[in-house]
Structure 1
């Protein structure tokens, strides 16, 4: 499931190998650990709960499994159609060419999934003979997913035995034989001209939840459910929390809302890199433009699941607040932000209609069915077309150029 509706029929999207280990014991251990933490320290923020569930070093959801695909819990746009990645590659090529296509450069992906999107991007760059002096930098914390990415992108890769190594895996790409390196954080990625893509990355970053009460806003915390042994429940903080004091906007009026401090810090880090090293950033995710309320949820086996039941067995996610990350991104004047625009609008402006016609002309019946299925999923307003948004960051020094030649896809 693509984390926005209740059901998805799998008939025509890409086929993948899958790693599906037995996780029952690890899930139980994780729930027990969270239970003991709350028992010792008191109720915890939703953000702390998300971190434990998703990225616990040995028991986290993303650490132990391949969550995407038919046998996983959700599906992403690159797996539905090659056209998605092709349109993103064309966007980067177009903006990169406006500034003279500087070299050397790197293509950076945050949370690369199975490597499908990067594979499609590399194929397009190779078609336009644009991979000279290029490097691929992948920011991935999951050993399972990095293994999938390695098998898809490289003939062979080497794992660094040093647990503290900045580059923990590296190889040469099958497409054009260029270096591919894996990092745990964006901070570790080299400082060089950067084309950065973050597709369904921000939605997995931890959030804090808040509710308006008679005493003002209070943070929603997670506590032990005393009426159900071994279970959890939501409670309201009795006093203002540090996160509330730091991040609550004075003009906030929603009954319920969410803040992702880590997303705000990440977008500032991206902005600093884009300004200092040169480059462009494209963000694609499902989200809202500041009007979202209660969006925290879980997905298991392509169905919505209670986030507080069996922690570690389901993906936890929340809609991206594009208004918030846009404000944070441009706050210091380092970059200009464009969007958010709907996925449908972005892909139309990028020429998806022309591309699918070309592919259809050369497709057999099975391929045609797959193409039309993927196109509908990406573009239909009741599926991914409206729920998913695109936003771009470009260096503020390009403002003059962009007045003459606007950023494609956003005008």
Structure 2
């Protein structure tokens, strides 16, 4: 039985499903979930991430990690962590850049957090001959706090789904996934018990407010870990830098938006990162945080334009391609403004590269 048929049967028996629960099932159902069975990244897959646009992205993240490690006092033991490493490209490029700092590599314990079996296998292949041998854990909560942490999470928050609430003339309602008489999945509204949603966002009648308990939990767990271990977590994603309304649920298949209800498990489902919620949760857990920088500005402060010039000098035949890659990463009408970078860190005195430039 297909995932769609199983979901329709479950909804018919137990009632409409929250958008967050629906997205989780579509992505992680053991038998048919997208990440559990068929994630496809890259130009020939369903979506592309910044590390797959250009090697410069991962290299600059590597240099950010090295400089942050030095500002921590160059501890002789620390954990280098990536959450949701995709096919391993970012970490491969990061480690290649880190060859300029042998002491950094010698001190690092490489840990990857990845729930998808196919992606863990891809990461193992990609990193088979890298400078460090990775090991995998299930979650941020599984990391011990017995050494400083340097962590990167690129396009992870958008995989942590949100419930959707709609402000109506009569109060708040929740948008849920139901099923029609002929077995098709459909969106509908359920009256909200209590009728109140706490938010600082301006939400007009008919507008959607997204609330992600999973993103808040991620920020809380990460903030608690960084508070106890010391270090920094760099988060990069597309999303909101301030509370605001909007329905951001989308399904991607072969780089095109498709109906999120049409083929559960066959495409990637995402929702915008809610940076204010994540950072507030981290602060409540005892860590410090930066504000959000647009990805374009962040990468420029790290020297991407100089890196582009050097790459073109060494590979003049590839100059047009390299220029297009730079534009994809930093141009305001591409990834430069929509994607943002921020960090969670401890101790408070730690001065993070790029954020205080």
TM-score bin, normalised by smaller chain? over 0.9
Residue 214 (structure 1) shift? 1.8
Task: State the match for 1:34 in structure 2.
Answer: 7
Task: State the match for 1:181 in structure 2.
Answer: 135
2:330 to 370, 376, 379: 379
2:21 to 20, 42, 48: 48
The CA distance in 2 between the partners of 1:368 and 1:409, in whole Å, is 29
**Residue correspondence of structure 1 range 170-319 to structure 2 within 5 A:** 174-176=129-131, 178-191=132-145, 192-226=147-181, 229-240=182-193, 248-254=197-203, 255-289=207-241, 290-319=243-272
Residue 291 (structure 1) shift? 2.3
> TM-score, normalised to structure 2's length?
0.94
Residue 339 (structure 1) shift? 2.2
The CA distance in 2 between the partners of 1:360 and 1:217, in whole Å, is 55
The CA distance in 2 between the partners of 1:81 and 1:409, in whole Å, is 22
Task: State the match for 1:9 in structure 2.
Answer: none
The CA distance in 2 between the partners of 1:292 and 1:124, in whole Å, is 40
Residue 77 (structure 1) shift? 0.4
What SS does structure 1 have at the residue aligned with 2:174?
Answer: strand
- Give deviations 1:115-169, integer Å, cap 9, x for gaps: 0000011111122212013111111111111111111101xxxxxxxxxxxxxxx
Contact 1:74–1:302 (CA under 8 A) maintained in structure 2: yes
Residue 313 (structure 1) shift? 1.1
Contact 1:292–1:321 (CA under 8 A) maintained in structure 2: no
Residue 71 (structure 1) shift? 2.5
For the structure 1 residues 250 and 47, does the alpha-carbon distance in structure 2 shift closer, same or farther, using more than 3 Å as the test? Answer: closer
Residue 70 (structure 1) shift? 2.4
> TM-score, normalised to structure 1's length?
0.82
Indicate whether 1:398 and 2:353 are aligned: no
The CA distance in 2 between the partners of 1:131 and 1:407, in whole Å, is 19
Extract unaligned runs of 5+ from structure 2: none
What SS does structure 2 have at the residue aligned with 1:308?
Answer: coil
Residue 175 (structure 1) shift? 2.6
The CA distance in 1 between the partners of 2:175 and 2:17, in whole Å, is 9
Contact 2:127–2:133 (CA under 8 A) maintained in structure 1: no
Task: State the match for 2:35 in structure 1.
Answer: 62
Residue 250 (structure 1) shift? 4.8
Contact 2:215–2:274 (CA under 8 A) maintained in structure 1: no
Task: State the match for 1:11 in structure 2.
Answer: none
Runs of 4+ displaced beyond 6 Å: none
Contact 2:302–2:354 (CA under 8 A) maintained in structure 1: yes
- Give deviations 1:222-274, integer Å, cap 9, x for gaps: 10023xx2311111112327xx86xx325443132101101101111001111
Q: What count of residue pairs does the alignment treat as equivalent?
A: 351
For the structure 1 residues 190 and 370, does the alpha-carbon distance in structure 2 shift closer, same or farther, using more than 3 Å as the test? Answer: farther
Residue 29 (structure 1) shift? 1.2
Extract unaligned runs of 5+ from structure 1: 1-27, 155-173
Contact 2:233–2:344 (CA under 8 A) maintained in structure 1: yes
Contact 2:202–2:244 (CA under 8 A) maintained in structure 1: no
Indicate whether 1:342 and 2:294 are aligned: yes
Contact 2:19–2:162 (CA under 8 A) maintained in structure 1: yes
What SS does structure 1 have at the residue aligned with 2:291?
Answer: strand
The CA distance in 1 between the partners of 2:199 and 2:272, in whole Å, is 22
Contact 1:140–1:182 (CA under 8 A) maintained in structure 2: yes
Residue 364 (structure 1) shift? 3.6
